[in-house]
Amino acid sequence: MTIVLVGMPGCGKSTAGRQLCRNLGWRFVDSDAEIEAEIGGTIRGYFDRYGEEAFRDVEQRAVERLSAPGQVVLATGGGAVLREANRVAITRPGNQVVYLRATPEELARRLRHDTQRPLLQGVDPLKRLKELFRQRDPLYREVATFVIDTGRTSVPTLVNLLSMQLEMAGLSSRKA
């Protein structure tokens, strides 16, 4: 089984995913980090040079490859759900998709000093996050096996919520 974490930028996919892997004894994969290794630079630089559509092409290939079933926790990029091919890939049999949901206001607070996320540069971040949330929230919900509201939850509490949800569904058990 692969556990796929989806949600808005800054919702905690990578941070919680790494900790969840330590608890499960699984491998962690961050699709954005894999993409940066593939393109030999930053996503922001790639966006600036080639545009969003070209980036989404690279992302689609990565999501297809990385979402294959295995003992992996995969943190996807916030916009991965925009393409139908990605939604199909992450929901393939054997995968469990967890939507880490946070409000645009909470995300703006968390990302207020971020300079690396291309879609939040040069704009009012809260306004942009509200637009992205309106567009993406239905897609996250469409693919989600579980929805966990992150709010102001600490990382250990969030990981505990994730672990408990997986246990209650009979999908994992914690390491002793």
DSSP notation for 102-142: --HHHHHHHTTT----GGGTTS-HHHHHHHHHHHHHHHHHH
Domains of the chain: 2-163 (3.40.50.300)
Question: What is the reported pLDDT for 54?
Answer: 96
Is 11 a known ligand-binding residue? Answer: yes
Is 10 a known ligand-binding residue? Answer: yes
28 forms bridges with which residues in the sheet?
73
Question: What is the reported pLDDT for 114?
Answer: 60
- Per the structure block, which two tokens stand in for 96? 């469990």
CA distance 58 to 61: 5
Is 22 a known ligand-binding residue? Answer: no
CA distance 149 to 168: 17
Question: What is the reported pLDDT for 5?
Answer: 97
Is 14 a known ligand-binding residue? Answer: yes
Is 114 a known ligand-binding residue? Answer: no
Is 141 a known ligand-binding residue? Answer: no
Question: What is the reported pLDDT for 145?
Answer: 93
Is 13 a known ligand-binding residue? Answer: yes
pLDDT digit string (tens) for the chain, length 176 residues: 899 999 998 899 999 999 999 988 999 999 999 999 999 999 989 988 999 999 999 999 999 999 988 889 999 999 999 999 999 999 999 899 999 999 999 988 877 656 555 556 667 778 888 999 999 999 999 999 999 998 778 888 889 988 888 888 776 655 43
Is 15 a known ligand-binding residue? Answer: yes
Is 56 a known ligand-binding residue? Answer: yes
Question: What is the reported pLDDT for 121?
Answer: 61
Handedness of CA 119, 5, 102, 23 (dihedral sign): negative
CA distance 5 to 17: 7
